[in-house]
Chains A and B, each alone.
Chain A
Amino acid sequence: MTDEPLLRVSALSKYYGARLGCEDVTFDLWPGEVLAVVGESGSGKTTLLNCLSTRLTPSSGGVSYRMRDGSWRDLYRMSEAERRFLMRTDWGFVHQNPADGLRMTVSAGANVGERLMAIGDRHYGNIRSTAVDWLSRVEIGKDRIDDEPRSFSGGMRQRLQIARNLVTGPRLVFMDEPTGGLDVSVQARLLDLLRGLVTDLGLAAIVVTHDLAVARLLSQRMMVMKDGYVVETGLTDRVLDDPRAPYTQLLVSSILQV
């Protein structure tokens, strides 16, 4: 790890009118670090993730990001063009529902190749071989490259969505309940795959989940949210083995130990 964080979040709050989404969230994310955001439904996890990834504008507070050239940028002061460029090159966003993150009517190969074409790759053969490579990294056979994701199972779709995001070598990936809609056995395989990719690529990630097992497997650090507030943060093992906030204790004791 370097001596500077990748992302700095300070006093971030988001209100939907009078309704609280999340309140006063502050943390740093380090390069290569995986942070899990856990909490029950409605606790503000998605709101926080969408604010961080600039899909929502917060009501107050700030987020700055260290660009590839080392300069720090305030995310909400970037032009829309810069922000969109960042989102499709240096970032990834994995939606819970793969259909929200994929183009369902074009082939798997085109789904993976889209980001490459968006940044100016104009060699069909290269785009295709990169797509084959990424499909195999997410365990999709190259015989499926010309199939549309509509013909894929839920687990395959999710793996395709991951490949589509990682093809430009992003440094930061946002994930909202990445295993949420999947069968338990499929979840386990996807988690394994994700853990391998994150480690191999040295990715930083912010993973929203209501599933403590996902947090345990993927993250080094976790943040527990309740009613829009962060009630506890710490190293994942510490929080799960020795929860301090009463709410976290309740949460941990209410699930089977993993």
Chain B
Amino acid sequence: MNIADYNFAYLDEQTKRMIRRAILKGIAIPGYQVPFASREMPMPYGWGTGGVQITASIIGPDDVLKVIDQGADDTTNAVSIRAFFKKVADVAVTTETAKATIIQTRHRIPEYPLRAGQTLVYQVPIPEPLRFLEPRETETRKMHALEEYGLMHVKLYEDIAKHGRIATTYAYPVKVEGRYVMDPSPTPKFDNPKMHMSPALQLFGAGREKRIYAVPPFTEVVSLDFEDHPFEIQTFDQPCALCGAENVYLDEVILDDKGGHMFVCSDTDHCEKRQAEGHRGHLAPEAMEPAE
């Protein structure tokens, strides 16, 4: 494949301009889903084509790109998107949250606090938070326009009635700047508080559903709840088995077929950083066989 055949960052300039207009509109109306003419990308839907189109439209030659999938930089999805931009935009890539200017993500917000000037690009499968109870697009659009969000609480009510508590753990609905209810994409609700008043720009792209939405820096993002069942994030009763971190999101890793398992940071970059700094969890290799 000859790179010269491609425009910078794959998309042609007209398309990028169209997508940037949608992004700007999204930033101007935080949480509002802006329709856009989603393009065919050289990867299937479900592989983050919405996020890829946003990244392609905002990336410049000086940007440093990080791509994560479920917190990891080394899954097939993350690796291929990173390789794609390396090829079509020749940009620097990194796994370090602090060094990245653009972070494209599926399912997580990095643990390392984002700063002003960074942009987080979310890959979104289903952008419509009301879809669960209202399949008609005409009706959900009207509900957003008229701020009729009672249905979101019907869903939370059902959760409590069935499970005794709000059992929604992913894609937990939020209200943005007191106006639009938004689906934060399938991130764990653990990450919801990180969206609130974040200094970074947050952009959301849904390729198949052709929607872009945004949360500008320092915007109020509130998770929906009931007075007597307030929003809570997941808690873990043990620290990361590898780096000993607390107050981070952990994944369960199965160790053997005898029920052996451990909980480790879902954000692998964060975990490796901490281990390099000398932090140790109870199952870290050096903890089992002390370093020389």
Q: What B residues does A84 contact at CB under 8 A? A: 146, 148
Count A interface residues, CB 8 Å.
Answer: 23
Contact assessment for A146 and B150 in the assembled complex, using a CB-CB cutoff below 8 Å = no
Which residues of chain B from 204 to 248 have a CB within 8 Å of any chain A CB? 225-229
| A11 CB–B CB distance under 8 Å | no
Q: What B residues does A127 contact at CB under 8 A? A: 157
Contact assessment for A106 and B150 in the assembled complex, using a CB-CB cutoff below 8 Å = no
Q: A80-B146, A84-B146 are in contact. Are A117 and B154 (CB under 8 A)?
A: yes
Output the nearest chain A residue to B146 by Cβ-Cβ distance: A81
State the Cβ distance, B229 to closest chain A Cβ, in Å. Answer: 5
* 0 or 1 for each of A97-125: is its CB under 8 Å from B? (1 = yes): 00000010111011001110111001111
Q: What A residues does B158 contact at CB under 8 A? A: 106-107, 110
Output the nearest chain B residue to A79 by Cβ-Cβ distance: B146
Q: What B residues does A124 contact at CB under 8 A? A: 157, 160, 226-229
Q: What B residues does A122 contact at CB under 8 A? A: 153, 225-227
Q: What A residues does B262 contact at CB under 8 A? A: none
Output the nearest chain B residue to A124 by Cβ-Cβ distance: B226
State in angstroms the CA–CA spacing of A146 and B142 once bound together.
29
Q: What A residues does B283 contact at CB under 8 A? A: none
State the Cβ distance, B39 to closest chain A Cβ, in Å. Answer: 34
Q: Which residue of A81, A115, A117 is within 8 Å of B157 (Cβ)?
A: A117
Contact assessment for B162 and A146 in the assembled complex, using a CB-CB cutoff below 8 Å = yes
Output the nearest chain B residue to A80 by Cβ-Cβ distance: B146
State the Cβ distance, B160 to closest chain A Cβ, in Å. Answer: 6
Which residues of chain A from 66 to 115 have a CB within 8 Å of any chain B CB? 80-81, 84, 103, 105-107, 109-110, 113-115
Q: What B residues does A105 contact at CB under 8 A? A: 133
State in angstroms the CA–CA spacing of A113 and B228 once bound together.
15
Output the nearest chain B residue to A148 by Cβ-Cβ distance: B158
Q: A113-B154, A117-B150, A146-B161 are in contact. Are A106 and B227 (CB under 8 A)?
A: no
State in angstroms the CA–CA spacing of A127 and B146 once bound together.
23
Interface size class of B (residues with CB under 8 A): 10 to 19
State the Cβ distance, B5 to closest chain A Cβ, in Å. Answer: 50
Output the nearest chain A residue to B156 by Cβ-Cβ distance: A124
| B151 CB–A CB distance under 8 Å | yes
* 0 or 1 for each of A125-158: is its CB under 8 Å from B? (1 = yes): 1011000000000000000011000000000000
Output the nearest chain B residue to A119 by Cβ-Cβ distance: B150
State in angstroms the CA–CA spacing of A78 and B160 once bound together.
37
Contact assessment for B161 and A114 in the assembled complex, using a CB-CB cutoff below 8 Å = no
State the Cβ distance, B77 to closest chain A Cβ, in Å. Answer: 32
Candidate in B157, B226, B228, B229 with the most chain A CB atoms within 10 angstroms: B157
State the Cβ distance, A10 to closest chain B Cβ, in Å. Answer: 28
State the Cβ distance, B136 to closest chain A Cβ, in Å. Answer: 13
Output the nearest chain A residue to B147 by Cβ-Cβ distance: A81
Q: A84-B148, A103-B133, A106-B133 are in contact. Are A125 and B228 (CB under 8 A)?
A: yes
Output the nearest chain A residue to B161 by Cβ-Cβ distance: A146
Contact assessment for A114 and B226 in the assembled complex, using a CB-CB cutoff below 8 Å = no
State in angstroms the CA–CA spacing of A103 and B155 once bound together.
12
Q: What B residues does A110 contact at CB under 8 A? A: 154, 157-158, 161
Contact assessment for B161 and A109 in the assembled complex, using a CB-CB cutoff below 8 Å = yes
* 0 or 1 for each of B127-159: is its CB under 8 Å from A? (1 = yes): 000000100000000100010101101100110
Output the nearest chain B residue to A115 by Cβ-Cβ distance: B150
Q: What A residues does B148 contact at CB under 8 A? A: 84, 118
Q: What A residues does B227 contact at CB under 8 A? A: 122-124
Q: What B residues does A119 contact at CB under 8 A? A: 150
Q: A80-B146, A81-B146, A125-B228 are in contact. Are A103 and B161 (CB under 8 A)?
A: no
Q: A106-B133, A106-B158, A109-B161 are in contact. Are A117 and B228 (CB under 8 A)?
A: no
Contact assessment for B157 and A113 in the assembled complex, using a CB-CB cutoff below 8 Å = yes
State the Cβ distance, A143 to closest chain B Cβ, in Å. Answer: 13
Which A residues form the contact surface with B (CB < 8 A)? 80-81, 84, 103, 105-107, 109-110, 113-115, 117-119, 122-125, 127-128, 145-146
**What are the 5 tightest A-B residue pairs by CB atom distance, in nearest-first order?**
A118-B150, A117-B153, A124-B226, A117-B150, A81-B146
Can you list 6 A-B contacts with CB-CB less than 8 angstroms, sorted by A residue number?
A105-B133, A113-B154, A113-B157, A115-B150, A118-B148, A122-B226
- Known pairs A80-B146, A106-B154 / 9 extra A-B pairs, C-beta < 8 Å: A80-B142, A103-B133, A119-B150, A122-B226, A123-B226, A123-B228, A124-B226, A128-B161, A146-B161
